[in-house]
Amino acid sequence: MRSGTYKETYSELVALTDSALVWYWSAVLLLALIIAPYFLNTYALAFLTLILITGVSALGLNILTGFTGLISLGQVGFLLTGAYAYAIPVAKYGWSPLAGFALAALVPAAVSLVVGAPSLRLKGLYLAITTLAFSFIINTVILEARWLTNGARGLHVRHPTLFGLSFDGDVAFAYLCLGFAVAALLATLNIRRSRVGRAFVAIRDNDIAARAMGINLHAYKLLAFATSAALTGVAGALYGLYLSFVSVEGFPFLLSIEALAILIVGGLGSTLGAVLGTVFIVLLPEATRMVFSTFGGETLFTTGAQELKSILYGLVIILFLRFQPRGLVGAWHDLKRTWVNWPLRY
């Protein structure tokens, strides 16, 4: 008698999912996201767009930190690099937006190799400090290279036209972000189930054992940096378009903390966790603002938005690390097991 569900072939082992229910609900969610922009007001649509952009960035960091175990505090540096790699050729020199998006992926990937090379022998706190220093270096370079970046004045960018389709307008731009988010999600899922993804996880779990199995640690760590930076750079370009203005002030260091908070809250190493964490973290300040407004403290939240965001992110990181270290995806798995085994759960 069969006592469980087992993978009997290699194709089943590397499949995205063998659950018809997962495919069904994924299709329902995608359909809902396609329909939603037509029914949401401008305020809610802005949140949906921001969730999609932040999701692309979180998926990029998840490849580096979640899959490979390399802690990075330089996320904002790659976001800035991608934003300027798009804005400079497109807004300043009139290049095609398609070329701008390609550069938004390629330039951060190339820069990440420069950052990753000296970081190959570093781990934990030392690697985090190295990537943190990189983000400050990028800020300084952008501010000093006025002839190219306009310095502190920044660059205005307009919503692009791709393949004859104009993405000018909130609804059209939301669809553009949805397309990039779906592509990033599929890319991340396929990387995770590939030979490269399994090498990343092996390095994260035990790099000495991974080396003993023949995995080139240097090559795969650099590949993780480059892949993560490419996705993050595209997210930076989209975020610049979302703001309609690219400048250092538009990309505060808090974005790096936000990205780490998303992975911790969602669940490190889980693609689903990155998605759930993105939704939770992006909506957390708004939910908190609504609670504040109920008790008459909306003015406090408005005047100290960045400071309160920092407090919120720090608080949820501490709470999740203490009470639910596997994040939202771990809580979801526990809930599923409780439901399946009820009433014999305890």
For position 1, what pLDDT does the model report? Answer: 41
The string of pLDDT tens digits covering residues 276-287 is 999 999 998 888
Note the pTM of the prediction, 2 decimals.
Answer: 0.91
- Say how many C-beta atoms besides its own lie within 10 A of residue 150's C-beta: 20
Decide: helix, strand or coil at residue 156.
strand
Tokens of 152: 């502190």
For position 20, what pLDDT does the model report? Answer: 77
The domain segmentation of the chain, as residue ranges, is 18-341
Dihedral over alpha carbons 87, 286, 333, 8 (to 10 degrees) = -30
d(CA 255, CA 138) in angstroms, rounded, equals: 15
Q: What is the mean pLDDT of residues 73-100?
A: 93
Instruction: Say which CATH class 18-341 falls into.
Output: mainly alpha
Tokens of 228: 């993560």
Task: Name, in order, each residue with C-beta under 8 angstroms of 128's C-beta and a sequence gap of 6 or more.
Answer: 71, 72, 73
Identify the sign of the CA torsion 210, 216, 222, 227.
negative
For position 2, what pLDDT does the model report? Answer: 47
Decide: helix, strand or coil at residue 40.
coil
Buried b / exposed e along 5-42 (16+ C-beta atoms within 10 A): eeeeeeeeeeeeeeeeeeeeeeeeeeeebeeebeebee
Band (223; pLDDT cuts 50, 70, 90): very high
Residue 16 has pLDDT above 80, yes or no: no
d(CA 177, CA 189) in angstroms, rounded, equals: 18
Band (340; pLDDT cuts 50, 70, 90): low
